[in-house]
Amino acid sequence: MTTSQPTPAQLGYRMPAEWAPHQATWLSWPHNEESWPGKLHIVLPIYARMVAALARSETVHINVNDEAMEEEACRLLHSVGAEGDIHFHHFPTNDAWCRDHGAIFVVRDGDDPLAAIRWEYNAWGGKYPPFDLDRQIPRRMAEALGAPCFDGGMVLEGGSIDVNGEGLLLTTEACLLNPNRNPHLTREQIEQRLCDYLGVSTVLWLGDGIVGDDTDGHVDDLTRFVAPDTVVTAVESDPSDENYDALQENLRRLRRMTDHRGGALRIVALPMPPAIVYEGRRLPASYANFYIANRVVLLPTFNHPNDDRAAAILAELFPTREIVGIDCTDMVWGLGAWHCLTQQVPAV
């Protein structure tokens, strides 16, 4: 794990919290029929509504495979009234999950204030080949923005981590310690790499993810920082639900954790939606998969009374942002929602 080159942290870079100002949000337009079998035509207009909400908030960059895909995207965006600063890039992808295959951006004061980290990407442990095009996206994003790009040197997806911008990083043992990611690295080596490249000082470990999550337990379906000392965490109230035990264990772990000043974390419980089952498979539906943009918070909803409860909780936590709930009952058939589809570019 040693290197002769200075690490991003040594150069003064750090990953800001998601609520810090963005210069843009980056997306990859959905096109893989295998990700939403039989439902891609339903998903695309829903995705367009997300883009429209984001474009009210900030600049949006979208990867498309070619001119034809750009034209189709423009047609759908026009149909939902999307207006704003939207840029298309002919950067072909294998799939739409920009949170995981896109660059993770870090910032510093001085020259080259924005930099990209290109982590290794293997489609969640090699589950969904091919992923050769997705692996090229971080460098192409960096080049488009004129930002230097560092190689992180291990497999890491953006949805597997969450930071508070002041030294803390949340992740899960189920994902980062899974042998299908970095079997040659110890927990301590993984922690050091996160500190070296994202400018964090402390890694906080949760346990397992929710049922149906093919990412092996991404933290963005579980627990999210909403302030330097505050997290929201998904809690299942029904002891008979198959997510109950894992979420209770994560809650117990959070209660033992401390913030960057050594104080106990403030923990806000976020309800879970009802079980969403399609073709006999439980899907990873979670309100924790929200995305914090400059002026809006995109909330996945599921046509259930808990939608309003989740929205009210986030509205209290983000009083200057509009909470935009968009039904993800069909979207989550792809095993992800708004946070999985987005990647922030910090303002500098």
DSSP state of 242: T
pLDDT reported for residue 348: 95
Contact (CB, 8 A) for 338 and 291: yes
Q: How far is CA 162 from CA 18, 136, 228, in A?
A: 8, 23, 11
**Structure tokens belonging to residue 283:** 């899907």
85 strand-pairing partners: none
22-346: CATH architecture? 5-stranded Propeller (3.75)
For 230, the 3-state DSSP assignment is strand
**Helices and strands in the chain, H and E counts:** 10, 18
pLDDT reported for residue 259: 87
Residues whose CB is less than 8 angstroms from the CB of residue 264 and which lie 6 or more positions away in sequence, other chains included:
255, 257, 258
264 strand-pairing partners: 258
pLDDT reported for residue 4: 74
Q: At what angle do helices 40-55 and 67-79 cross, to 10 degrees?
A: 70
pLDDT reported for residue 70: 98
Contact (CB, 8 A) for 223 and 32: no
- Peptide bond before residue 92 is cis, with ω within 30 degrees of 0: no
pLDDT reported for residue 1: 47
Point out the residues that are catalytic: 340
Alpha helix locations (H) across the chain? 40-55, 67-79, 98-101, 123-126, 132-145, 173-176, 187-198, 244-256, 306-317, 338-341
CA distance 229 to 323: 21
Low-confidence ranges of the chain (pLDDT < 50): 1-3
CA distance 4 to 324: 46
pLDDT reported for residue 166: 97
pLDDT reported for residue 105: 98
Going by DSSP bridges, is the β-strand pair 277-278/281-282 parallel, antiparallel, or unpaired? Answer: antiparallel
Q: How far is CA 13 from CA 48, 92, 106, 108, 310, in A?
A: 33, 29, 6, 5, 33
pTM (2 d.p.): 0.97
Q: What residue type is 300 in one-letter code?
A: P
Contact (CB, 8 A) for 217 and 288: no
